[in-house]
Homo-oligomer: A and B are copies of this chain.
Amino acid sequence: MRIAALGPEGTFSHELAVKISGGSGVLLLPTIKRVFDEAESGRSLGLVPVENSDAGGVGETLDGLMDTGCRIIAEYYMQIRHNLASDGVTAGGCRVIYAHPQSHAQCSRFIEDLGIPVIHTASNADSAQLALKNSGSCAVTSLSAAKISGLEIISPDIQNSENNITRFVLISSDRGEPSGENYGVPEMAFTSGRKKCSIIVDPEIDRPGLLYSILGVFAGENINLTKIESRPSRRGIGSYVFFIDFEAECVEKLISSLKRIAKVKELGCYGREEV
């Protein structure tokens, strides 16, 4: 099955989708929301960034997991390297920098030191295209987007952290057991087994100590949380839902205990795939 991902050509999502698609094809879409819609329709799998080690959760992806019926069937970790690129301008000659807001956040120290105005764009690939079109400008972009646009790298590895990692998840509308054959992608291994599970817990009504009770269910089962992230419930300010990732072999008992105290949406159990 083909993989839908955020385009245009040259985004980190595109690069990863090509690596894991194994010849099944990649469909590039303009927004993360459109990737979720495509995956939910069952026509494609979807590949979306869910968090970055520097900039945090990706709101559009968390909203997609909350709002659609898509489930997570695998996760991937990708080392992120950003570069300053231009069409013949030196770093000192840039009068304006094009950058995606997440890339800006991940390269904030380098950009702040330059002291040049930054214009936000919709993707790293758009940043590269804009730097190509507008003379005297530079782009924060990936190596592959710079290559595609024919830009020259003028400062490599400008991200704040040497250890900048983005976690991606592969999503599907399918409710069956994830396997390469099920998705018509035998190259995809799904070998690492079901190790991590993701859920959204919605307390619906807030009461003191509720989150403590929720975490008590995990502690009681000796289950390790690998992540907890709050997001607005959209019922008003101060009302939240919680995205929780945890490691467990068997989730049935945990989920039924949780459901006694809060609304639970299961996002799937899945393994980490290497690329």
Contacts and interface: CB of A to CB of B under 8 A. Distances in A.
Given A120-B122, A232-B55, A237-B77, A212 B208 contact: no
Interface residues of A, number: 53
Contacts of A121: 119-120
Interface stretch (A40-48, A134-142, A184-192, A215-223): A215-223
Given A117-B30, A122-B119, A53 B237 contact: yes
Contacts of A163: 236
A60 interface: yes
A231 interface: yes
Nearest to A119: B122
Contact of A54 (B105, B160, B234): B234
A211 interface: yes
Given A120-B120, A163-B236, A218-B212, A227 B230 contact: yes
A52 interface: yes
B165 A234 contact: no
A156 interface: no
Contacts of A209: 218-219, 224
Interface string A196-231: 000000000000110110011011001111111111
A150 interface: no
Given A112-B33, A119-B122, A232-B54, A222 B208 contact: yes
A240 interface: yes
Nearest to A213: B219
A118 B122 contact: yes
A101 B105 CA distance: 13
Contacts of A117: 30
Contact of A234 (B53, B120, B216, B239): B53
A63 B22 CA distance: 39
A59 to B, nearest CB: 6
Given A53-B232, A101-B101, 11 more contacts: A52-B232, A53-B237, A56-B231, A101-B120, A120-B121, A160-B234, A163-B236, A208-B222, A211-B228, A227-B230, A227-B238
18 contacts: A33-B108, A33-B112, A51-B237, A52-B237, A53-B234, A53-B237, A53-B238, A54-B234, A56-B232, A77-B237, A120-B121, A209-B219, A211-B215, A211-B225, A212-B212, A228-B228, A228-B230, A229-B230
